[in-house]
Amino acid sequence: MNHYYWQKAEENLPKIYEEEIRVASENKILHSGDSFEIDLGNHYVGYFSFVLGYTNMYPDAPVRLSLKFSENRDEADADFSSYRGRLCASWLQEEILNLDSIGEYRMPRRYAARFIKISVLYTPREITLSDFHFTAVTSADKRNLRSFDIADEELRAIDAVSVNTLKNCMHRVFEDGPKRDRRLWIGDLRLEALTNYYTYQQTDIVRRCLYLFAAADCNDTGFLPGYIYENPKFVSGYWFLYDYALLFVTTLCDYYQHTGDAETFLDIYPVVQKQMDAAKKITDENGILSLFNKRDVFIDWNDALEKTVSLNGVYLYTLDRLSQALSKLNHKDAPIYQSRYQDTKHAAYRHLYNAKDHNFAVGYDKEQISVHSVVWMILGGVIDGEIAWEALQNTMKNPQSIKPVTPYMNHYLAEAMMKLGKQKEAISYIKSFWGLMIKKGADTFYEVFVPEKPDLSPYGDKMINSMCHAWSCTPSYFIRALDQDDHA
């Protein structure tokens, strides 16, 4: 760990705000075997408390309760004991409590929940549960939320759920998912930070997260880990994702673009250089980043996906953004990355683009056709204009092509559409994807959403999926950025 960067990160630790959520549930009179559900009316992250009492006779034994916290209806209806997924079952939010005496009980752990099911396992006498309180926590300061109104009702709803998703992921860092995996991941950080610039506008937490990654230990090649732990102590992540490491650079460029904070940019610039040097080390004789194992690149949760084309798109995208930032700073290194951008773009055009078929079915990716490849080649500037738009549409329509499964990848798909000037189509896509989640009951946007595969999970069991996930919060970014452009 780099102590200087870590110290800088700690200086930017955000304040946590509390909000008392009114719980509609009335007092309950209960016996052993009884259970009931509390509906908070929305998805919140925070702490739960209640008061244990009794009716006629003081309980002469402890009261044993089970409490199950669920992010949405599906999870509330799931039987946790049937869980067979790959991730640790301890993520499932359930507790067994033994309460020795009457009075208020404040549960010490934080939960992400809309529904709370309370079951009385054992009580010696008739008891009461009452005064249910849910104290929601977030580092998003609602006074900072940029006011926003738009005539389109559906977009207004999508914006509200996006903001709710972001808010519920904002704590000491931009968390990945407040129910499961509270780590800070680069891919999520970038999208949360982007959305934050248009909503809560809290740059301290972005700065903190950038410094936290700057403090992390790189692998032998020089790449940053995909995630870090920061509480109760800083621990560098063990999984190195090269696309994420490159997007760290992009995230810093975004930060500089939105804040003009050159000091922080330059402070972290040595880590940027290390990432760009690492990218060079995995570049082959054709100028293509190909010297990696599939496991070293994320792009999307899709085991079938080949990733060379996409990774090179991420690299080009990063080189482009970095060049722009350095130019704006009149930095001496600007020309280095400008020329590397041009060289790589030409290499990609030559070795990754199948000009005959207007796609990226090339040997590097086992001739695979994927939406991911087209999206990232558009974002990397390898193709553009109507050719790019047709390539994108054809690939999306092609039943054989690999499709995005995460809102994360869908973000980049929408971004590619926007880049091609297809705002109307992008908004329509956002409605059809994120809007559909709302129609199916989402209070916050999910980690994984494939309309035709409602039970899909990257972890082998849907109940462990995160239903409020950082990387899914970007519709607000698109809707608000577009609205801003319209007014400009």
Return the number of the residue (110 or 307) whose C-beta is nearest its own copies: 110
Return the number of the residue (183 or 331) whose C-beta is nearest its own copies: 183
Q: How far is the CB of 233 from its own copies (least distance, A)?
A: 8
Q: How far is the CB of 12 from its own copies (least distance, A)?
A: 21
Return the number of the residue (1 or 145) whose C-beta is nearest its own copies: 1
Residue 381 backbone zone (phi > 0: left; psi -120 to 50: alpha; other: beta): left
CB-based contacts of 22: which residues, under 8 Å, 6+ apart?
Answer: none
Return the number of the residue (210 or 464) whose C-beta is nearest its own copies: 464
Return the number of the residue (99 or 334) whose C-beta is nearest its own copies: 99
Tokens 């899909």 — which residue?
456
C-alpha triplet 462, 465, 466: angle, nearest 5°: 155
Q: How far is the CB of 307 from its own copies (least distance, A)?
A: 23
How many CB atoms neighbour CB 348 within 10 A? 26
Q: How far is the CB of 223 from its own copies (least distance, A)?
A: 18
Q: How far apart are the first and last CA of the chain?
A: 44
Q: Which residues bind its own copies (CB under 8 A)?
A: 32, 57-58, 60-64, 87-91, 95-96, 98, 100-103, 109-110, 121-124, 180-181, 183, 229, 231-233, 235, 238
CB-based contacts of 133: which residues, under 8 Å, 6+ apart?
Answer: 20, 21, 23, 48, 49, 50
Q: How far is the CB of 21 from its own copies (least distance, A)?
A: 21
The continuous run of DSSP H or E covering 106 comes out as strand 103-106
Q: How far is the CB of 175 from its own copies (least distance, A)?
A: 13
Q: How far is the CB of 93 from its own copies (least distance, A)?
A: 8
Q: How far is the CB of 235 from its own copies (least distance, A)?
A: 4
| Helix locations, 260-368, DSSP H | 262-281, 308-328, 334-351
Return the number of the residue (91 or 349) whose C-beta is nearest its own copies: 91
The pair of structure tokens assigned to 10 is 């700690």
Q: How far is the CB of 106 from its own copies (least distance, A)?
A: 11
- Count how many Cα atoms sit within 13 Å of the Cα of residue 122 in the half-sphere of its side chain: 9
Return the number of the residue (180 or 480) whose C-beta is nearest its own copies: 180
CB-based contacts of 35: which residues, under 8 Å, 6+ apart?
Answer: 117, 118, 119, 120
DSSP state of 464: G
Q: Which residues of 414-444 are buried (b: 16+ CB within 10 A; e: fewer)?
A: bbbbbbbebeebbbebbbebbbebbeeebbb
d(CA 268, CA 246): 14
Return the number of the residue (232 or 363) whose C-beta is nearest its own copies: 232
Q: Are 407 and 125 spatial neighbours (Cβ–Cβ below 8 Å)?
A: no
241: exposed, middle or buried (Cβ count in 10 Å: 0-12, 13-18, 19+): buried
Nearest to 223 by CA among 239, 250, 248, 245: 245
Return the number of the residue (22 or 109) whose C-beta is nearest its own copies: 109
Return the number of the residue (85 or 287) whose C-beta is nearest its own copies: 85
Return the number of the residue (102 or 418) whose C-beta is nearest its own copies: 102
Q: How far is the CB of 342 from its own copies (least distance, A)?
A: 40
Q: How far is the CB of 32 from its own copies (least distance, A)?
A: 8
CB-based contacts of 460: which residues, under 8 Å, 6+ apart?
Answer: 84, 85, 86
Q: At residue 17, what are phi and psi to the nearest 5 degrees?
A: -100, 140
Amino acid at the residue 100: D
